[in-house]
Amino acid sequence: MSPPSGIPCRCLRYVVRLVRVRDWWDKILYVAGAAFLLWNGSGRVGVDAHAFALYVAGVLCLLIGGYTINDVADFPQDTRVPREDIGPTPRRHHSLVVALAGLVVGMTLLLAATREPLPRAIAVVNLLIGVEYSLPPMRFKERGVWGVIVGAWTQKPGLFLVSAAMLGVWNWLCVLLTVWLFCGGALAMLGHQILDHRNDLAAGVRTFVTRRGPKLALRLCFVCACVIGMTVLAPFAFAPAAEALPMVGMLAALSSVYAGKGLRALRKLRQ
């Protein structure tokens, strides 16, 4: 018989798996970090602190809801091919409740963060497209390269542009951060699909990697990694060194998370 402490541990593991912490913890760092860089550069840090806090909380809830709705959509495949390496498969009705709560609360917080129509419109469109990544009729996840593009866009740059619209800041830094976030999102999507290649084949999930093969995906990962490296250093080309250095430092620190996850993924592939 397992000790009493085993029950809370199993419950905690189930909750962590239910809300997909392993999949979104780094996304909130990237989106919030990019939004903070743009916010800090706008010179309105002391003015919009309340709205920024609501924005970050809303993004967190949307990420939880978006990832959990994917569990609802993929429940038949996940039960056909169990994933013991990431914990027990959540019950479908548990995932549905968490997904709906996350999406509703997230959108409410984002709508409360600003009264401007543009950021609200971007948030709504991003939510609708993000949900269609997993759910029919579009189910972009199984539409080849469109699955990578939609997944990469809605997880990071789409959410980031809500903050840009809230601030009304459209400059070189906004473009740079959007490219950095998109390439990071594409890198994460491709890496995830490469690691899940065999499970997706067994479950009948037709992702970009199951259609085109992992070798092409690895080449695209290399391209995305090179673009990320260039965007990290790009502020030196647009701003004085003293102003660009903090941006480069923060982007480099956040990009190191990409590198760490990439190295762990390579080790798993070798195994």
Q: Calculate the CA 61 to chain-centre distance.
A: 12
Across 106-130, b (16+ Cβ under 10 Å) vs e yields: bbebbeebbeeeebbebbeebbebb
Percent of the chain predicted with pLDDT > 90: 52
CATH of domain 21-270: 1.10.600
| pLDDT tens digit sequence for 143-184 | 889 999 999 999 899 999 999 999 888 999 999 999 999 999
| pLDDT tens digit sequence for 43-58 | 776 667 888 999 999 9
Handedness of CA 144, 145, 146, 151 (dihedral sign): positive
Residue (of 78, 103, 47, 89) closest to 199 by Cα position: 78
| pLDDT tens digit sequence for 22-78 | 888 999 999 999 999 998 887 776 667 888 999 999 999 999 999 999 888 877 766
> Residue with structure tokens 């941006």?
247
Instruction: Please state, rounded to an integer, the average pLDDT across all residues of the chain.
Output: 87
Residue (of 109, 117, 105, 29) closest to 66 by Cα position: 105
Cis peptide bond upstream of 137, omega within 30: yes
Listed range (97-101, 188-192, 230-234) with the worst mean pLDDT? 188-192
Residue (of 71, 92, 88) closest to 11 by Cα position: 88
Q: What is the pLDDT of residue 79?
A: 64
